[in-house]
Structure 1
Amino acid sequence: MTENKRKFEWVDKWAKMTGERARIDAKVHKTAIVYNTEAGWVKEHYDGTIEIINTKENRGENMREKERINRIMSLLQRIWEQQPDVRFNQLISNLQHMYSSQNEGYGQRMMKEKGSLGDEAESSYLDLFYLEDDKWEEFLQKLVDNRATDD
């Protein structure tokens, strides 16, 4: 037993380092990490606040409401109809940039790119993978409401 413990001791260290790295990344990118504790699943936000996650939701017992899909798609349609010359992915990209700039750079990721001569240049991209639908819907609704008052 002692031999196996020594043999795989590096796994515990590696797991701890991975968790610490995830926590650092969450702070840098203003996201959160999710992990299991003795009390159940928790979501640790980049600002250090910890939220206990309902385990029923994690098992899919409390799914997101389906109605949100029609609401969000309807908002996107209304916005897109006001600028029909814009391609769909161009519209989404523009909206993501607007959301990020209005929310302290949410989702902005920095990276280094290698050029053809081996030189490195810093670049950035947006990753809104973890943005909850209710926040996106609220943003889109404000855009629609603001454009309605402009007309």
Structure 2
Amino acid sequence: MTEHKRKFEWVDKWAKMTGERARIDAKANKTAIVYRTEKGWVREHYDGTIETINSEENGGGKMREKERINRIMSLLQRIWEQQPDIRFNQLISNLQHMYSSQNEGYGQRIMKEKGPLGDEVESSYLDLFYLEDDKWEEFLQRIVD
């Protein structure tokens, strides 16, 4: 048993480092991480607050409402109809850049690439993966209004 434990001890260290990295990313990007504890699933926000989700205490967590899909798609359609010559992905890209610029650079990621001469070139891209639908819907509604 002792030999087996030593053989896979690195897994515990790796899991701990992964969790610490996720916390750092959440703070840097003003998002949250979700993980399981002995008492159930929790969401740890970038500011350190922790909320219990998907447990008996809160009735299983907060489900996203299905109706939001039609509302968001309808808003996108109204915006796109005002600019019918724009391709769909171009529209989405433009909207993401607008959202980011109006919200303190939310989702902007800086990276370094190797340039054509082998030098490092700084570049950036947008990642709105963690943007909640209600925030996106509010933003789209402001554009339509």
Cα deviations across residues 38-75 of structure 1 (Å, max 9, x unaligned)?
22111112222222212435xxxx75322211111111
| 2:14 corresponds to | 14
| Residue 115 of structure 2 is aligned to residue 115 of structure 1 | yes
Answer whether contact 1:30 1:107 (CA < 8 A) is retained: no
Matched AA of 1:13: K
In the alignment, which residue of structure 2 is the partner of 1:90? Answer: 90
Structure 1 portions without partners, runs of 5+: 146-151
Task: Find the counterpart in structure 2 of residue 149 from structure 1.
Answer: none
Alpha-carbon distance change, 111 to 99 in structure 1, aligned in 2, over 3 angstroms: same
**TM-score with structure 2 setting the length:** 0.88
Greater relative contact order, per chain length (Cα 8 Å cut-off, separation 6+): 1
1:65 counterpart SS class: coil
Q: Distance in 1 between matches of 2:95 and 2:19?
A: 32
Cα RMSD, aligned residues only: 1.6
Question: CA–CA distance in 2 between the matches of 1:51 and 1:102?
Answer: 28
- The number of equivalent residue pairs is 141
Distance 1:106 1:39 in 2: 32
Q: Deviations over 1:76-121 (max 9, x none)?
A: 1111122222221111111111111222221111111111221111
| Residue identity (%) | 88
Aligned-pair distance for 1:12? Answer: 1.0
